[in-house]
């Protein structure tokens, strides 16, 4: 791979996929954003879905979100190895096809149990899309350039949570919740056609790894014995738990605790807007300050702010403005942490990017969904479980990062712009 500090690297990286840099970033972003749409457009519809399908316990409606996260998490470990063997493009197209069919299946269902099955299958398809798009970025870029590309991808990615709840609200205002799934299926179908026509394969045949039990075990061993990849994977798990807990709980927190009603999509959109701003800033500053300095500061700020929110909540319900400001800051910190932790965890992996993305994705999403879902199920009409969970997740992340970095924060020799992280060993 061309060393990432050369000026023309972005042209060479995107040329590998047969696109200009901007088209590449937008295409990858929209692919991954389709997954966010499948989660966030559901938020205003959860009470309607629960009522329509006879769900007795209001907390159980959270499963429409939680089961998607679970399917999304558990299947990533399969798609990583498959994409390292068969290339990224075929797995991506297959995942999109499964995603689309499951959307139309969900639109046709009349039972809550079958809806959850379809949501789980949608998660499987979404996982294939997520794994392959991240591996494509790693095929084309490394180190700080990868972090920069991912930041720009995340800007487009985060436009979706800004508009998705409003789209969901609009649909259930004028039609029933089934139409949310129909719309998502149509969008997925368009993406399938676009990918078929425009996306070339990013992993040449000579760089692929033959699919065998031995090669898979070796790949897993390489990933799981690397302290950097493992430590940051634990951190990613904690911050996947953070976003899972937030998304699963937000409808009840804003709707029941603070009584926002139809204002929920707007309130959610503004916090998502903060994430987009944070990612844009990260893309701008990451080459100057490095991934570690930025993400480690964000991690510490996140933990302190969460603890402040929890202490405040113990004394009674915090004012909406205060709680909302804290949530906005926390989500901005989350954005910076998740983007940079992902890039750092993949730095040492080279052409094992697919397997590495799969393992980190499998662990972080599966266990993050379980932990986040647990916090969601603890919802008791207050914001205490959310802030308390956030503080615990932040503290564990700090401990895992200290372990990965040998007791040091803010710097690491592999973060130097003179080194090519994609090449090496730590």
Reported pTM: 0.79
205-213 own/partner pairs: CB under 8 Å, 24+ apart? 205/87, 207/351, 208/84, 208/85, 208/86, 208/87, 209/84, 209/85, 209/351, 209/352, 209/355, 210/85, 211/81, 211/82, 211/85, 211/86
**Per-residue pLDDT reduced to its tens digit, 10-48:** 556 666 667 778 888 888 888 888 888 999 899 889 989
Burial (0-12, 13-18, 19+ Cβ within 10 Å), 174: exposed
Ranking 1-10, 122-131, 371-380, 388-397 by mean pLDDT, the lowest is: 1-10
- Gap between the Cα atoms of 63 and 389, Å rounded: 19
Where does the pLDDT of residue 412 fall: very low under 50, low under 70, confident under 90, or very high at 90 and above?
low
Per-residue confidence (pLDDT) for residue 176, from 0 to 100: 92
- The phi and psi torsions of 300 (rounded to 5 degrees) equal -70, -45
Ranking 278-282, 294-298, 330-334 by mean pLDDT, the lowest is: 278-282
Asked if residues 169 and 44 have their Cβ atoms less than 8 Å apart, the reply is: yes
**Per-residue pLDDT reduced to its tens digit, 161-181:** 778 888 899 999 999 999 999
**Per-residue pLDDT reduced to its tens digit, 212-264:** 677 667 777 888 899 999 999 999 999 999 999 998 898 889 988 999 888 88
More confident residue, 352 or 186: 186
Per-residue confidence (pLDDT) for residue 305, from 0 to 100: 98
Q: What is the mean pLDDT of the chain?
A: 85
Q: Does 1 have pLDDT greater than 60?
A: no
Q: Does 426 have pLDDT greater than 50?
A: no
Per-residue confidence (pLDDT) for residue 2, from 0 to 100: 38
| The CATH classification of domain 9-423, taken from the options 3.30.420.40, 1.20.1250.20, 3.40.50.12500, 3.40.50.12170 | 1.20.1250.20
Tell me which range, 58-62, 97-101, 373-377, is most confidently predicted by mean pLDDT.
97-101
Q: Does 156 have pLDDT greater than 80?
A: no
């Amino acid at each position: 791979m061309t060393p990432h500090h050369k000026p023309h690297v972005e042209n060479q990286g995107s040329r590998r996929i047969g696109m200009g840099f901007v088209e590449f970033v937008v295409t990858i972003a929209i692919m991954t954003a389709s997954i966010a749409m499948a989660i966030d457009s559901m938020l205003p519809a959860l009470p309607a879905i629960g009522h329509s399908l006879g769900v007795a316990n209001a907390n159980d409606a959270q499963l429409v979100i939680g089961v998607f996260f679970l399917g999304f998490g558990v299947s990533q470990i399969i798609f990583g190895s498959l994409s390292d063997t068969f290339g990224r493009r075929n797995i991506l197209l297959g995942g999109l096809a499964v995603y689309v069919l499951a959307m139309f299946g969900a639109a046709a269902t009349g039972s809550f149990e079958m809806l959850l099955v379809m949501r789980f299958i949608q998660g499987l398809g979404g996982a294939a899309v997520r794994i392959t798009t991240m591996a494509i970025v790693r095929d084309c870029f490394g180190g700080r350039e990868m972090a920069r590309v991912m930041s720009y991808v995340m800007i487009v990615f985060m436009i979706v949570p800004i508009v998705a709840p409003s789209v969901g609200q609009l649909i259930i205002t004028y039609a029933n919740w089934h139409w949310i799934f129909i719309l998502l299926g149509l969008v997925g179908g368009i993406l399938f056609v676009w990918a078929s026509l425009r996306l070339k394969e990013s992993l040449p045949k000579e760089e692929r790894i033959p699919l065998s039990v031995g090669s898979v075990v070796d790949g897993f061993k390489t990933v799981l014995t690397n302290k950097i990849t493992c430590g940051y994977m634990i951190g990613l798990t904690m911050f996947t738990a953070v976003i899972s807990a937030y998304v699963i709980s937000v409808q009840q927190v804003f709707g029941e605790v603070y009584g926002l009603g139809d204002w929920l999509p707007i309130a959610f959109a503004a916090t998502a807007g903060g994430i987009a701003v944070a990612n844009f800033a990260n893309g701008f500053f990451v080459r100057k300050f490095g991934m570690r300095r930025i993400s480690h500061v964000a991690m510490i700020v996140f933990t302190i702010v969460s603890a402040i929110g929890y202490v405040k909540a113990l004394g009674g319900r915090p004012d909406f403005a205060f709680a909302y400001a804290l949530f906005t800051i926390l989500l901005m910190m989350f954005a910076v942490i998740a983007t940079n932790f992902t890039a750092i965890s993949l730095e040492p992996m080279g052409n094992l990017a697919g397997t590495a993305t799969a393992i980190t994705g499998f662990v972080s999403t599966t266990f993050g969904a379980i932990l986040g879902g647990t916090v969601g199920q603890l919802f008791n009409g207050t914001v205490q479980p959310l802030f308390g969970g956030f503080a615990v997740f932040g503290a564990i992340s700090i401990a895992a990062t200290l372990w990965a970095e040998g007791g040091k924060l803010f710097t690491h020799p592999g973060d130097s712009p003179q080194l090519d992280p994609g090449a090496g060993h730590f």
